[in-house]
């Protein structure tokens, strides 16, 4: 039996979005506050699977750390660190490259979504990314992985890698971690069209709400969000073919801590002329304090680096013995 332990990560590949907040950060804080052991990682080795400007990467890593802290991650209660500072991630990642099968990797939809038809020019690292993600999780014997919907397949691959390793070497060493995908906003869609997810790594999407946006910018982006002329329906069924409307209802539900059904009960019959300002108000009330706190933290980058350094010092002694035991199992 493995003791309950949570691991999750976010790539410092750009400014964090409302999607990252509702699908990941907010829930990371909830898990920490439930008193479960929580380990959170800025996965910079994942970020470089697509080219990153070095100065920007440094800046984005600090900014992502500031977002965790501003959202409520307490570096005393959670371990918060930067992936590249604990080299065991890369080491176990290589080992898992030798466990994962090409056929498994070929089925990863996120790789296909990201590279489209241009796979010849994608980095080998981008292709192998899910195997490194398995290493991130299993290096801590994590049992639960809070993520957004888009990462579900990668956590399932992690389970497959753990099972194959255990089977190949006749051990019961790695746990089968559970994806924890809960809440009303497990997949926040772009405000531009409601059919693609809101992502920090999509620079072409100007509609995306960033955690560093000020109140006016947030309100303007919600005002401009694509919608339809129909009023809100009474039940979720009525949102089936209305992806933009459904997205805004889900965002409101997640921000207010209500069920989407309850949101509809409150707003049924109302048009977006009324709903959008209410949504903007709650988005601003939630995000503006985070943005302000991030600004305050970013004024002292040395302090952020110190917190991340301390986090790495706490992650290392958990990770290293698990890597060493893995090497031993392999005959190394
Ligand atoms: P991105 O796709 O924005 O570059 P990451 O790949 O770093 O973000 O993902 C960090 C976490 O945020 C993951 O748990 C992921 O599932 C979650 N996440 C990312 N985008 C969204 C979204 N639009 N809605 C909900 N969760 C999301
Ligand atoms: Na992602």
| Nearest ligand for residue 68 CA | 1
* Minimum-distance ligand 1 atom for the alpha carbon of 43: 7
Q: What is the pLDDT of residues 216-227, one digit of tens each?
A: 999 999 999 999
Residue 1 pLDDT class (50, 70, 90 cuts): confident
Per-residue pLDDT at 203 exceeds 90: no
* Minimum-distance ligand 1 atom for the alpha carbon of 200: 3
Active site residue ranges: 114, 197, 200
Ligand 1 centroid–CA 199 distance in Å is 7
Q: In what order do the strands lie in the sheet with 5-10?
A: 78-82, 37-42, 5-10, 144-146, 178-180
SS3 278: helix
Query: Which residues fall within 8 angstroms of residue 21, CB to CB, at 6 or more apart?
Result: 67, 71, 211, 287, 290
* Every domain of the chain and the residues it spans: 5-184+300-330, 215-295
SS3 7: strand
Question: Among 332, 214, 227, 324, which residue's Cα sits nearest to residue 275?
Answer: 227
Per-residue pLDDT at 117 exceeds 90: no
Residue 194 pLDDT class (50, 70, 90 cuts): confident
Ligand 1 centroid–CA 17 distance in Å is 8
Superfamily of domain 215-295: Tyrosyl-Transfer RNA Synthetase (1.10.240.10)
Q: Report the predicted TM-score, pTM, of the whole model to 2 decimal places.
A: 0.96
**Beta-bridge partners for 39:** 7, 79
Per-residue pLDDT at 83 exceeds 90: yes
Question: Residue 291 and residue 105: Cα distance in Å, rounded?
Answer: 37
CATH of domain 5-184+300-330: 3.40.50.620
Question: Residue 115 and residue 108: Cα distance in Å, rounded?
Answer: 12
């Amino acid at each position: 039996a493995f003791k309950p332990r949570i691991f999750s990560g976010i790539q410092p590949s750009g400014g964090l979005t409302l999607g990252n907040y509702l699908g990941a950060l907010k829930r990371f804080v909830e898990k920490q506050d439930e008193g479960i052991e929580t380990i959170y990682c800025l996965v910079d080795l994942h970020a470089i699977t697509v080219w990153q400007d070095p100065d920007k990467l440094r800046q984005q890593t600090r900014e992502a750390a500031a977002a965790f802290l501003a959202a409520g991650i307490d570096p005393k209660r959670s371990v918060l660190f930067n992936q590249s500072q604990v080299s065991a991630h890369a080491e176990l990642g290589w080992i898992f490259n030798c466990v994962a099968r090409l056929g498994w990797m070929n089925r990863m939809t996120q790789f296909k979504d990201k590279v489209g038809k241009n796979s010849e020019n994608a980095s080998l690292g981008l292709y192998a990314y899910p195997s490194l993600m398995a290493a991130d999780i299993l290096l801590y014997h994590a049992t639960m992985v809070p993520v957004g919907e888009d990462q579900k397949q990668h956590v399932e691959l992690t389970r497959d890698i753990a099972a194959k390793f255990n089977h190949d070497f006749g051990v019961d060493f790695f746990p089968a971690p559970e994806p924890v995908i809960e809440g009303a906003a497990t997949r926040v869609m772009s405000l531009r069209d409601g059919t693609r997810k809101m992502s920090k790594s999509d620079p072409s999407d100007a509609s995306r709400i960033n955690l560093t946006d000020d109140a006016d910018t947030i309100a303007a982006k919600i005002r401009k969000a694509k919608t339809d002329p129909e009023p809100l329906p009474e039940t979720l069924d009525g949102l089936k073919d209305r992806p933009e409307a459904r997205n805004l209802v889900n965002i409101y539900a997640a921000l207010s801590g209500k069920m989407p059904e309850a949101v509809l009960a409150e707003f049924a019959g109302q048009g977006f002329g009324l709903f959008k300002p209410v949504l903007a108000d709650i988005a601003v009330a939630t995000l503006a304090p985070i943005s302000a706190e991030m600004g305050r933290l970013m004024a002292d980058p040395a302090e952020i680096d110190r917190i991340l350094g301390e986090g790495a010092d706490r992650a290392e002694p958990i990770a290293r013995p698990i890597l060493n035991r893995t090497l031993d199992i392999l005959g190394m």
